[in-house]
């Protein structure tokens, strides 16, 4: 068992294929996340433009609380999407280092189904379960 920070030996053909698959997963997730960020920015802009015709008094305007809630929800989703991009950057770095798919806790392999579902996974299911 190797630790995630230990140097990795020269990659084999199988490793090259695995890295290409991993890059594809991460790239696909990045495209979805970037599209989500663009969509959220458009939604935010639509709310801002729509609220020009309402009062600034969110407390007493019947529409104000709804608009404030929508703005807060979109801001929260935007923060989550930007964090996802940072996690994807980290996943790309692990691919380059040859540690992608290796659990950061136990050093064991993260299952392919887990990586397909969550390309940014850093821990195997066992270590994730123990952490909760």
Mean pLDDT of the region 15-30: 93
Q: Angle between the 64-97 and 13-50 helix axes, to the nearest 10 degrees?
A: 160
Q: Which two tokens stand for residue 5?
A: 């920070």
Considering the domain architecture, whether residues 88 and 105 belong to the same structural domain is answered as no
Q: Is residue 7 part of a domain?
A: no
Mean pLDDT of the region 84-110: 96
pLDDT at 1: 46
pLDDT at 12: 75
How many structural domains comprise the chain? 2
- Domain containing 17 equals 13-100
User: 116: helix, coil or strand?
Assistant: helix
Considering the domain architecture, whether residues 83 and 44 belong to the same structural domain is answered as yes
Considering the domain architecture, whether residues 62 and 116 belong to the same structural domain is answered as no
Q: Is residue 122 part of a domain?
A: yes
Q: Which two tokens stand for residue 67?
A: 């608009």
Considering the domain architecture, whether residues 86 and 129 belong to the same structural domain is answered as no
More confident site: 50 or 61 = 50
Q: Is residue 46 part of a domain?
A: yes
pLDDT at 112: 94
Average pLDDT, the chain: 86
Q: Is residue 5 part of a domain?
A: no
Considering the domain architecture, whether residues 22 and 86 belong to the same structural domain is answered as yes
Q: Which two tokens stand for residue 2?
A: 């190797």
For residue 110, the tally of other CB atoms under 10 A from its CB is 20
Q: Which two tokens stand for residue 23?
A: 């890059």
């Amino acid at each position: 068992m190797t630790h995630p920070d230990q140097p990795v030996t020269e990659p084999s053909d199988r490793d090259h294929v695995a890295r290409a698959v991993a890059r594809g997963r991460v790239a696909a997730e990045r495209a979805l996340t970037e599209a989500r960020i663009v969509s959220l920015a458009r939604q935010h802009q639509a709310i801002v433009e729509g609220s020009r015709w309402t009062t600034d008094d969110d407390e007493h305007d019947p529409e104000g609380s709804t608009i404030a809630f929508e703005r807060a929800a979109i801001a929260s989703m935007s923060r989550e999407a930007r964090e996802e991009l940072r996690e994807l950057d980290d996943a790309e770095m692990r691919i380059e280092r040859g540690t992608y798919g290796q659990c950061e806790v136990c050093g064991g392999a993260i299952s392919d189904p887990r990586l397909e579902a969550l390309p940014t996974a850093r821990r195997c299911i066992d270590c994730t379960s123990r952490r909760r």
